[in-house]
Amino acid sequence: MGVTLAFLRRDWRIWMSYRAAVFQHYLGLVLLVVLVYVLGSNFAGDLAPETLLLRTPEGVDVPRQSGDYVAFALVGLALTDMFLSGLTSIPKALRNAQFSGTMEAVLLTPIKESELLAGSAVFPFLQSLARATLLLTFGFVFLGYWQGANFAIMPLIFVPGFLSLAAVGLASSAFTLILKQGDPVSLGYAALSTILGGTLFPTNALPDWLQPVVFTLPLTHALSGMRLAFAGAPLAAVVPQLLILWSLTLVLLPVSYLFFRWSLRHVRKKGSLGYY
Amino acid sequence: MTDAVVEARGLVKRYQMPWTWPNLWRPRPEHLALDGVGLVVRRGEIFGLLGPNGAGKTTLLRLLVGLLLPDEGTAVVNGMDVVRAGRRVRASIGVVYGDERSFFWRLSVRENLRFYARLFGVSEQSRIDELVELVGLAEAADMPMHSYSSGMRQRAAIARGLINDPSLIFMDEPTRSLDPVGAQELRRLISERVASGRTVVFATNLMHEAEALCDRLMLIDHGHELITGTVQDFRDRVTTDVVYQLVLEGNGTCSPEELQAIPGIRNAEVEQTEQGAFRVTLVLSGEAAALPAAIRHLMDHTLEIVSCARQDPSLDELFQEIVRLRRLEMAEVN
């Protein structure tokens, strides 16, 4: 825990040292909320009732009590940000460490691999949590969305959703260690997930030939499960998502972790640990 | 050997070279960085690694601290195998290396040290204060590191290397970037650490530093161990001759041929200074048994001895000579 806190403190202090960037970060977030609200309420309102939330990729019908586009997009943006922090934060932190030259210095300490991974992910995750909280609070307090949400089942969906994407992120980290640039996972996976995973429009609006791809993305099931929870669905309604997400997690996480450990050993053997 | 804190045997390290067109489908060429190097470092000694640029010093250090894995051979540090017990080895050692980029430049040295201290499980703030004081950075400890000079960053690297109060410290060119005062302070610090029972292994290109500090040295070149031992062992490897320089005054004369005729004198050179004195350089075989005979000969020629000093070759000269001999040997083999 002490090591994770040390990473958190370090990343917080570095982030706060770029004051203009901190200001721009939150200004951007406010502008995003305004944009979603203006566009959603003026242009997408008519689309929402029939297409947005009625049927999930697993074929579950959802009650329509929170079914307008702004609510849909706010949940999509907030949760995609959090889920994708699991995917992108560790490879990004490792890449930064390669560039800054701190990778070897950190690995000269008796840090465990799991501590390195958790430490690298914790600050970006908390940042995304802060952004998500801001977006969702805006929707909940000012727009009156999700008043009947089932908050109790949200962690049950969020944890496997985050872990399954973090597993993909671990594989991405392994490629980052070996290849430095050109990691094939991060290259398009985050963008693909955002476009096809249901962040800004429902997956059932996508053509049939894309549906197999949509189904294989953890983000698809994580978002659809969370949207059900926001719509107030009971636990039974999210069982399909839970099964898929836990299956993905249990398969991907150990495989990715072993791949990451192998890659670390490989670069130690090759002598390219500090290269960038 | 029971008091050994580092024991390495047969370390081999090969680096793969980049692929080149049109050989993309052939096995990648390899560069042999270390070829079967072994060493033993005893508790409480200062052990120096010497060698020309690219000799393999840094590779050897990186293998010993676990940043690199060997292709062959074993390394045991503080009684633990570096490959199998890497974490425990790293917890027991300190490493100072001269890569300035190894710090978070947006943070102060105090914040950097606090971060690395936590990774070592050290949480006492007093330890950080003690270290910044020790390396002379107390006044600048809260400044961001991007405003530091190279020498200040090197001091910070030294503080980081001592953060866990290690019994064994590895240093790669630790006085690089330091001003003469800073370098002298570091040498004093190393001596103090060793006096209190620590062991130091360091790689350097500064011969006077190695000669002044090290109990024993290893000279490597092209990944091969050339010699390990004391400076005297290095001298014995190069030559068994002893050189004396004498300054003489008087009305007499002095001829090199007469001196060379004395048994045990291999060479003699005589030079007259502007003040009219003679400077005589004698190369004597073995244990300088011929020196009294040479002095008697000079005094018989009505010359008075002003000074007589033994001229040992410096480590720098020994280094160059050993490397030269090795390269000649390699050229003959090839």
Evaluate whether residue B334 is within a structural domain.
no
pLDDT given for residue A165 in this prediction: 95
The enclosing domain of B294 has a CATH number of 3.30.70.260
**Which residue, B168, B321, B131, B129, is CA-closest to B237?**
B321
- The reply to whether B9 and B136 lie within a common domain is yes
Q: With contact defined as beta carbons under 8 Å apart, do B183 and B173 qualify?
A: no
Is A185's pLDDT higher than 90? no
Chain A residues closer than 8 Å to B104 by CB: 10, 14, 100, 102
Judged by CB atoms closer than 8 Å, whether chains meet at A13 and B111 is answered as yes
Residue B256 sits in which domain range? 240-310
| Spatial separation of the C-alpha atoms in residues A255 and A170, rounded to whole Å | 9
Judged by CB atoms closer than 8 Å, whether chains meet at A105 and B103 is answered as yes
Question: Which of A101-115, A133-147, A239-253 is predicted least confidently?
Answer: A133-147
Q: Which positions ≥6 away from B236 have C-beta within 8 Å? A: none
Closest chain A residue to B64 measured between Cα atoms?
Answer: A108
User: Which tokens go with B56?
Assistant: 């393999």
- The reply to whether B268 and B198 lie within a common domain is no
- The reply to whether B104 and B209 lie within a common domain is yes
Judged by CB atoms closer than 8 Å, whether chains meet at A111 and B65 is answered as no
Q: What is the pLDDT of residues A28-39, one digit of tens each?
A: 888 988 887 777
Q: What is the pLDDT of residues B16-40, one digit of tens each?
A: 887 777 777 777 788 899 999 999 9
Say if residue B302 is exposed, middle or buried (CB neighbours under 10 Å; 0-12, 13-18, 19+).
exposed
Evaluate whether residue B320 is within a structural domain.
no
pLDDT given for residue B115 in this prediction: 96
Candidates B62, B107, B118; nearest CB to A3: B118
Complex ipTM:
0.86
Q: What is the pLDDT of residues B257-299, one digit of tens each?
A: 988 889 888 899 998 888 888 899 998 887 667 888 888 888 8
Of B236, B267, B287, which residue is a domain's last?
Answer: B236
Q: Which positions ≥6 away from A196 have C-beta within 8 Å? A: A203, A206, A210, A213, A214, A217, A220
Cα angle A7-A13-A19, degrees, rounded to a multiple of 5: 145
- The reply to whether B116 and B217 lie within a common domain is yes
Q: What is the mean pLDDT of residues B133-162?
A: 92
Cα angle A103-A108-B57, degrees, rounded to a multiple of 5: 100
Closest chain B residue to A17 measured between Cα atoms?
Answer: B106
Judged by CB atoms closer than 8 Å, whether chains meet at A100 and B105 is answered as yes
Using a CB–CB cut-off of 8 Å, the residues of B that contact A are 13, 15-16, 59, 62, 65-69, 71, 87-88, 90-91, 95, 99-107, 111, 114-116, 118-121, 123, 144, 160
Strand partners, B39: B8
Q: What is the mean pLDDT of residues A7-36?
A: 90
Cα angle B327-B329-B334, degrees, rounded to a multiple of 5: 95
Q: Round to the nearest angstrom and report the end-to-end CA distance of chain A.
A: 29
Closest chain A residue to B15 measured between Cα atoms?
Answer: A270
Question: Which of A50-54, A189-193, B115-119, B324-328 is predicted least confidently?
Answer: A50-54
Is A59's pLDDT higher than 80? no
pLDDT given for residue B236 in this prediction: 83
Average pLDDT, chain A: 87
- The reply to whether B56 and B27 lie within a common domain is yes
Which residue out of A108, A262, A273 would a mutagenesis test of the B interface target, given it has the greatest number of B Cβ atoms within 10 Å?
A: A108
Judged by CB atoms closer than 8 Å, whether chains meet at A6 and B114 is answered as yes
Judged by CB atoms closer than 8 Å, whether chains meet at B102 and A102 is answered as yes
Q: What is the pLDDT of residues A152-171, one digit of tens each?
A: 999 999 999 999 999 999 99
Chain A residues closer than 8 Å to B114 by CB: 6, 9
Evaluate whether residue B40 is within a structural domain.
yes
Edge-to-edge strands, sheet with B80-81:
B30-42, B4-16, B72-77, B80-81
Evaluate whether residue B319 is within a structural domain.
no
Residue type, A226: M
Closest chain A residue to B98 measured between Cα atoms?
Answer: A105
Chain A residues closer than 8 Å to B66 by CB: 108, 268
Q: What is the mean pLDDT of residues B92-107?
A: 87
Evaluate whether residue B86 is within a structural domain.
yes
- The reply to whether B258 and B139 lie within a common domain is no
Q: What is the pLDDT of residues B211-251, one digit of tens each?
A: 888 999 999 998 999 999 998 888 888 877 888 999 988 88
- Radius of gyration for chain B, computed over Cα atoms and rounded to the nearest angstrom: 25
pLDDT given for residue B117 in this prediction: 96
Chain B residues closer than 8 Å to A17 by CB: 106-107, 144
CA distance B115 to chain A (A): 6
Of B181, B213, B236, which residue is a domain's last?
Answer: B236
Provide the pLDDT confidence category of residue B82 given band limits of 50, 70 and 90. Answer: very high
Q: Could you tell me what percentage of chain B is helix, strand and coil, using 3-state DSSP and rounding each to the nearest 5?
A: 35, 30, 35
pLDDT given for residue A43 in this prediction: 59
Judged by CB atoms closer than 8 Å, whether chains meet at B104 and A5 is answered as no
Judged by CB atoms closer than 8 Å, whether chains meet at B13 and A271 is answered as yes
pLDDT given for residue B1 in this prediction: 46
Is B320's pLDDT higher than 50? yes
Phi-psi region of B217 (alpha: psi -120 to 50; beta: other; left: phi over 0): beta
Average pLDDT, chain B: 89
pLDDT given for residue A264 in this prediction: 93
Residue B13: how many CB atoms within 10 A of its CB? Answer: 25
Using a CB–CB cut-off of 8 Å, the residues of A that contact B are 2-3, 5-7, 9-10, 13-14, 17-18, 100-102, 104-112, 265, 268-271, 273-274
DSSP B47: E
- The reply to whether B290 and B227 lie within a common domain is no
Which residue out of B118, B154, B164, B168 would a mutagenesis test of the A interface target, given it has the greatest number of A Cβ atoms within 10 Å?
A: B118
**Which residue, B183, B134, B190, B178, is CA-closest to B159?**
B134
Chain A residues closer than 8 Å to B123 by CB: 2
Q: What is the pLDDT of residues B36-66, one digit of tens each?
A: 999 999 999 999 999 888 899 999 999 999 9
- The reply to whether B22 and B141 lie within a common domain is yes
Number of separate domains in chain B: 2
The enclosing domain of B158 has a CATH number of 3.40.50.300
Strand partners, B31: B15
Of B236, B254, B273, which residue is a domain's last?
Answer: B236
Edge-to-edge strands, sheet with B278-284:
B265-272, B278-284, B242-250, B303-310
Judged by CB atoms closer than 8 Å, whether chains meet at A111 and B119 is answered as yes
Is B197's pLDDT higher than 80? yes
Q: What is the pLDDT of residues B245-267, one digit of tens each?
A: 999 888 887 788 988 889 888 89
pLDDT given for residue B238 in this prediction: 81
Pairing of strands B224-229, B265-272: unpaired
**Which residue, A87, A83, A101, is CA-closest to A175?**
A87
Q: Could you tell me what percentage of chain A is helix, strand and coil, using 3-state DSSP and rounding each to the nearest 5?
A: 80, 0, 20
> ω before B22 within 30° of 0 (cis)?
yes
The dihedral formed by the CA atoms of B18, B19, B21 and B24, expressed in degrees to the nearest 10: 180
Is B163's pLDDT higher than 80? yes
Strand partners, A103: none
Judged by CB atoms closer than 8 Å, whether chains meet at B106 and A268 is answered as no
Judged by CB atoms closer than 8 Å, whether chains meet at B118 and A270 is answered as no
Evaluate whether residue B297 is within a structural domain.
yes
- The reply to whether B230 and B279 lie within a common domain is no
Is B313's pLDDT higher than 70? yes
Closest chain B residue to A265 measured between Cα atoms?
Answer: B69
Candidates A10, A18, A273; nearest CB to B67: A273
DSSP A183: -
Q: What is the mean pLDDT of residues B100-129?
A: 92
- The reply to whether B228 and B146 lie within a common domain is yes
Q: CA–CA distance from A91 to each of A100, A116, B8, B162, B219 (Å)?
A: 14, 11, 35, 30, 40
Q: What is the mean pLDDT of residues A108-115?
A: 93
Evaluate whether residue B325 is within a structural domain.
no
- The reply to whether B145 and B261 lie within a common domain is no
Evaluate whether residue B316 is within a structural domain.
no
- The reply to whether B178 and B112 lie within a common domain is yes
